[in-house]
């Protein structure tokens, strides 16, 4: 049995040690795995290149790179050198596919049971982190990857992965698809405005996008308050889902923090507005990164780009802005890797995260090779002691 930081053995013949006998437990050294985020595009193509049930596989239409990538990633995961936590973005994107179960099997294999919290929860954690920093709370601590992941990312993994079926909410897939379509439509007039305002520079769009987050948060919260008031007067129905809405939960957490600081009730809203207008709120990592990415898009539109952002654009921005600060490397869309390499994004977004995409795929393979080459001999020997010498072989028969 392999546990987080030790493993146990038992004799097959006599079952020693039994319940009353001292366990035959052996300590394992601490791990420091690289955290790598793989975009859904990578997950999908690795599934296609391995899965004989797909037409793309049968017709040989998948780039052999994806098989090489799977082999290197899977082997490095088994060597306990990297981990690729899955996310709600993976789950939602996979739900829209006819290959939901095979896609899930892929990202669960590489995640080793570690999953990022949903993006709304991570955003709320980031905002409250900035709030306590702004308040000068003596117990303030910076948010780390361990705070936003289910499971121990630096655990020695068991040989088997058990995955429970998802709780299915009626109409969820249709709701996700409809939301994506609506976002794509809503972006068209915004893109046209960007195209027409050629005199504005990056800084203008960046400031506009940063301030939009506070405005949207307050408007959503005010709308929920209005629905409560209407329901209490008997002139409207209360949507029960509004109680768990991001705006409702986040604003109420902020107000509770002010109360704990001794702020009087009559000053709570003013204090809230002070925080929402502050540099601390605007420097929340997902707000800063997403505002920069939207500003980069606006700059492209104003400088002559003809094609409006597609349906996946918002998802790509949410993935990068939410998870980039907690990853050692990300393999993402070509377009957004390009934006992150432009100034001022490459100068301002400094988290030490290596960014790769299909255009830099060879560099990504080299990055993975370097991780394996830098593994110590003692580490590799310990892996083979625990798992055996065949363990690191890639599981290419995943869909056999």
Phi, psi of 82, deg, nearest 5: -135, 165
As a whole number of angstroms, the distance between CA 280 and CA 275 comes to 7
pLDDT tens, position by position, 171-192? 778 888 888 888 888 888 999 9
Query: What is this structure's pTM?
Result: 0.92
Element containing residue 22 per DSSP (H, E): none
Beta strands 149-150 and 115-116: pairing type? Answer: antiparallel
pLDDT tens, position by position, 67-87? 999 999 999 999 999 999 999
Per the prediction, the chain carries an average pLDDT of 92
Higher pLDDT, 60 or 28: 28
Burial of 379 from C-beta contacts in 10 A (0-12 / 13-18 / 19+): middle
Which residue has tokens 């599934």? 47
Q: Whole-angstrom distance between the N-terminal and C-terminal Cα of the chain?
A: 26
Mean pLDDT of 127-151: 93
345, two tokens: 């994004």
Which residue has tokens 């601390």? 280
Is the pLDDT at 226 greater than 80, yes or no?
Answer: yes
CA dihedral 367, 373, 375, 377 (to 10 degrees): 170
Is the pLDDT at 48 greater than 90, yes or no?
Answer: yes
Per-residue pLDDT at 240: 67
**Cβ distance 173 to 351 under 8 Å?**
no
* For the chain, percent of residues with pLDDT exceeding 70: 98
Higher pLDDT, 394 or 160: 394
As a whole number of angstroms, the distance between CA 74 and CA 70 comes to 6
Where do the H-state alpha helices sit in 278-352?
A: 279-282, 285-302, 313-323, 334-340, 345-348
As a whole number of angstroms, the distance between CA 317 and CA 292 comes to 10
As a whole number of angstroms, the distance between CA 72 and CA 46 comes to 12
**Cβ distance 337 to 45 under 8 Å?**
no
Integer CA distances (angstroms), 76 to 3, 72, 249, 380, in order: 19, 6, 39, 11
Nearest to 42 by CA among 364, 314, 372: 364
Is the pLDDT at 169 greater than 70, yes or no?
Answer: no
DSSP strands (E only) in the chain: 6-8, 25-27, 34-38, 82-83, 115-116, 149-150, 329-332, 354-357
Nearest to 70 by CA among 58, 57, 88: 57
Mean pLDDT of 316-327: 97
Give the SS3 label for residue 389.
coil
pLDDT tens, position by position, 91-129? 999 988 889 999 999 999 999 999 999 999 999 999 999
Beta strands 115-116 and 6-8: pairing type? Answer: unpaired
As a whole number of angstroms, the distance between CA 319 and CA 94 comes to 15
Element containing residue 47 per DSSP (H, E): helix 40-50
Higher pLDDT, 310 or 333: 333
Integer CA distances (angstroms), 164 to 105, 160, 368, 381, in order: 11, 13, 30, 33
Query: Band of the pLDDT at 138, cuts 50, 70, 90?
Result: confident
Mean pLDDT of 28-34: 97
323: Cβ–Cβ under 8 A, 6 or more apart, which residues?
Answer: 37, 87, 116, 122, 330
Is the pLDDT at 167 greater than 70, yes or no?
Answer: no
As a whole number of angstroms, the distance between CA 52 and CA 261 comes to 60
Nearest to 224 by CA among 251, 187, 191, 194: 251
As a whole number of angstroms, the distance between CA 60 and CA 41 comes to 18
Per-residue pLDDT at 165: 72
Phi, psi of 30, deg, nearest 5: -65, 145
As a whole number of angstroms, the distance between CA 226 and CA 212 comes to 21
* For the chain, percent of residues with pLDDT exceeding 90: 76
Per-residue pLDDT at 6: 96
């Amino acid at each position: 049995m392999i546990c987080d930081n030790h493993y146990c053995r038992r004799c097959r013949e006599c079952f020693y040690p039994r319940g009353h006998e001292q366990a035959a437990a052996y300590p394992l050294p601490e791990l420091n795995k690289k955290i790598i985020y793989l975009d859904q595009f990578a997950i999908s193509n690795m599934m296609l290149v391995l899965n004989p049930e797909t037409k793309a596989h049968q017709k040989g239409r998948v780039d052999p790179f994806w098989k090489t990538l799977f082999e290197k990633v899977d082997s490095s995961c088994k060597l306990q050198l990297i981990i690729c936590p899955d996310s709600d973005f993976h789950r939602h994107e996979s739900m829209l596919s006819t290959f939901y179960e095979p896609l899930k099997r892929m990202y669960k294999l590489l995640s080793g049971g570690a999953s990022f919290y949903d993006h709304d929860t991570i955003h709320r954690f980031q905002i409250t982190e900035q709030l306590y920093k702004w308040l000068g709370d003596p117990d303030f601590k910076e948010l780390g990857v361990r705070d936003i992941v289910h499971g121990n990312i630096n655990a020695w993994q068991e040989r088997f992965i058990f995955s429970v079926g998802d709780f299915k909410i009626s109409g969820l897939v249709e709701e996700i698809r409809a939301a994506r379509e609506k976002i794509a439509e809503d972006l068209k007039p915004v893109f046209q405005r960007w195209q027409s305002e050629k005199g504005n520079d990056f800084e203008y769009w960046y400031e506009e996008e940063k301030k939009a987050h506070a405005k949207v948060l307050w408007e959503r919260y005010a709308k929920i308050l209005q629905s409560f008031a209407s329901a209490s007067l008997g002139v409207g129905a209360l949507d029960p889902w509004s109680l768990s809405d991001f705006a409702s939960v986040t604003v109420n957490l902020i107000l509770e923090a002010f109360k704990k600081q001794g702020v009087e009730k009559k000053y709570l809203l003013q204090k809230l507005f002070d925080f929402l207008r502050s540099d601390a709120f605007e420097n929340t990592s997902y707000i800063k990164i997403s505002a920069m990415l939207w500003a980069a898009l606006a700059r492209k539109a104003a400088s002559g780009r003809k094609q409006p952002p597609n349906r996946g654009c918002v998802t790509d921005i949410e993935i990068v802005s939410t998870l980039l600060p907690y990853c050692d490397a990300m393999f993402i869309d070509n377009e957004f890797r390009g934006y992150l390499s432009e100034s001022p994004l490459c100068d301002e977004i400094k988290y030490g995260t290596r960014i790769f995409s299909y255009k830099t795929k060879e560099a990504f393979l080299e990055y993975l090779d370097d991780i394996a080459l830098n593994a110590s001999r003692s580490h590799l020997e310990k892996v083979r002691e625990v798992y055996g010498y065949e363990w690191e072989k890639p599981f290419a028969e995943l869909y056999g």
